[in-house]
Structure 1
């Protein structure tokens, strides 16, 4: 999926972070960082981890059943497998000792969902002479700024989203159900090279914005109804996202006017997404603008969140970087966000890269209410 030069770039970033924290060895166990740093990831059926020394060769410790795919996908050649009768944490600790790091300063992401309290306590028992260095949030922060190679993969995922959205809009008709729409998108995903057929929220919109995380169920869409479609295709684990409202028939003048206001505000947000811009200022364009325009009585949810690499994790979205009134951090060129706005039964969103002169949309579906 990526060149060796790309992995060398990532290794250098990780080692810079280790140097800043004083760590001799980096323990990597979150699914996303495993994929990003090593090229291989696997669900945590049993605990597993990869290790990057400040100097020397990296290695991977995991179930023996996963050795072969790890060797195939990763640049790491030192792969240590353990059988299922072994305790996974004990096997990981043994590999640390065997590689000469039993007394090392070991950096780890204390925010990693794989670093449970039980796993941390067990590792400290098994490695009493080691010092554990907290590096909270490292699994996310290392990946915030995307390389051109990563953006190219995200572009592929965005193109899948565009094709699937067009297919749903083209095939919409009275009596079509939310399940029919999801099936259309899933088929496009699989034919066009997405990792899976998992579609995203496809629901009948109602109210203001409450439908956004609505429960998926079989609902018929009749003339005048709004079908809310959020598509989340992944290519090589990199996910693009896009939302559009689809109306069977002709949308009302009121609905069309609300959509135009949302799109104008979001276009202003995209234009403002320049390196150095403060996230809260970009957020305010939509949040305050929607309130001033009377599109929503309150606006309490984020207006954007980080996009990039997704694996099998407890979270379906990456909120390590979000747009809120309290977000006082600057945007950097190469960051990628899911920028979204919802109001009055409408939802519009894009996959946006922070470019030198403003945001660049990777998703290209027309920014309006789609009709059959």
Structure 2
């Protein structure tokens, strides 16, 4: 082990002459007032649940609360929200400190970075550094909430925090911030509508490249190009999930991507794709067949499309998630389509590996009540032994029903 001091960091005290965030910095997608409202609502939930400090590891939640936007979530990083602090605290890797300066509204005095001596080390961990900062800010005896089910918070990190903060108490509050994200603001919905416009173009490009003889990887290259280029009015962002393009027998399962083999006449391909704007998503799935499709696929696609419409017609404020699934099932089960897994989920702002919010699901038993501004991906994929079909819609709950984020023909696409 090295004898270097354990708690050395690049910005122990903010210089008094730190310049304000300059106009040329990474554009903040929301106003300071919107970020302040998010922090205020987060603190209200914290108080209601008896917490004094919240440690937020999910990059989507970090972005939601501060604007932070970097592909740095492969190492520990977090935002601290404390009732005693007027502003959130960002803690991340030293080389990402300038990224926090560029992409957040947070004052320099609340930006902390740890040295690379903490990165992938056997005897020290970034949570050692986090514990030191909490002690430094006199938050080490607090009631602390953690998002324990986050992809980005490890068992080792938890053990280090427990050991280093022996006088604190810890509570699992995984969905606290995510639940606040479920109702989108007008500006968030505008970004999702913009993502929807990009998504329409992405699907057009994708379907145009599902042709016999074209390599799957070449089609995906064009899909990526369309996702990033966006429209003439606004560019695209990277979606949280890579293009999924199961083909042939691969359509019997949902989560295959692509290879370098050419598409083949007489086979189907499923396109489950998304477009994103400031990380706000609009996913869509469609199915294409090259040649004359078998009758079972044609019939299944028709039933799925009718079931999707039935589910959409059940959407309204006051309805429940399970009632949307029940409407779908009332159309599909009598015609022989039975689906055991959920048919959709809430979605919006997110980072890899998933664009879902991990809050509400369209399935039996989920009695979450729909409210205006909630957004969902209704995706009742059907996967059989050696074939499948996906037709999905992304929608927002409105005052009197629903709005499709990316209107597009809802059918089986046949490529003669």
**Residue in structure 2 matched with residue 307 of structure 1 by the alignment:** 347
**Residue in structure 2 matched with residue 118 of structure 1 by the alignment:** 156
Quick check: 1:287–1:303 contact (8 Å CA) kept in 2?
A: no
Query: How many corresponding residue pairs?
Result: 368
**Residue in structure 1 matched with residue 26 of structure 2 by the alignment:** none
Match of residue 168, structure 2, among 130, 135, 140: 130
Instruction: Quote the offset at 1:219 in angstroms.
Output: 4.2
How do 1:2-13 and structure 2 match up within 5 A? 2-13=30-41
Quick check: 2:238–2:279 contact (8 Å CA) kept in 1?
A: no
Quick check: 2:69–2:99 contact (8 Å CA) kept in 1?
A: no
Q: Secondary structure at the match of 2:181?
A: coil
Superposition TM-score, scaled by structure 2 size: 0.81
Deviations 1:96-138 (A, max 9, x none): 1222222222222232333333222211222222232332322
Alignment partner of 1:73 is 2:100: no
Select the structure with the greater relative contact order (CA < 8 A; seq sep ≥ 6): 1
Instruction: Quote the offset at 1:368 in angstroms.
Output: 1.9
**Residue in structure 2 matched with residue 370 of structure 1 by the alignment:** 413
Quick check: 2:394–2:406 contact (8 Å CA) kept in 1?
A: yes
Alignment partner of 1:210 is 2:252: yes
Deviations 1:282-340 (A, max 9, x none): 1022234222112x3x3111100121122135x56444321111212212221111101
Quick check: 1:199–1:233 contact (8 Å CA) kept in 2?
A: no
How do 1:140-155 and structure 2 match up within 5 A? 140-155=178-193
Match of residue 18, structure 1, among 46, 66, 81: 46
2-structure distance, mates of 1:211, 1:91: 43
Question: Residue 183 and residue 151 in structure 1: after superposition, are their counterparts in 2 closer, same or farther (change >3 A)?
Answer: same
**Residue in structure 1 matched with residue 19 of structure 2 by the alignment:** none
Match of residue 33, structure 1, among 36, 61, 73: 61
2-structure distance, mates of 1:163, 1:45: 31
**Residue in structure 1 matched with residue 11 of structure 2 by the alignment:** none
Q: Secondary structure at the match of 1:142?
A: helix
**Residue in structure 2 matched with residue 51 of structure 1 by the alignment:** 80
Q: Secondary structure at the match of 1:212?
A: coil
Question: Residue 258 and residue 61 in structure 1: after superposition, are their counterparts in 2 closer, same or farther (change >3 A)?
Answer: closer
Q: Which runs of 5+ in 1 are unaligned?
A: none
Instruction: Quote the offset at 1:184 in angstroms.
Output: 2.1
Quick check: 1:270–1:360 contact (8 Å CA) kept in 2?
A: no
Question: Residue 252 and residue 107 in structure 1: after superposition, are their counterparts in 2 closer, same or farther (change >3 A)?
Answer: closer
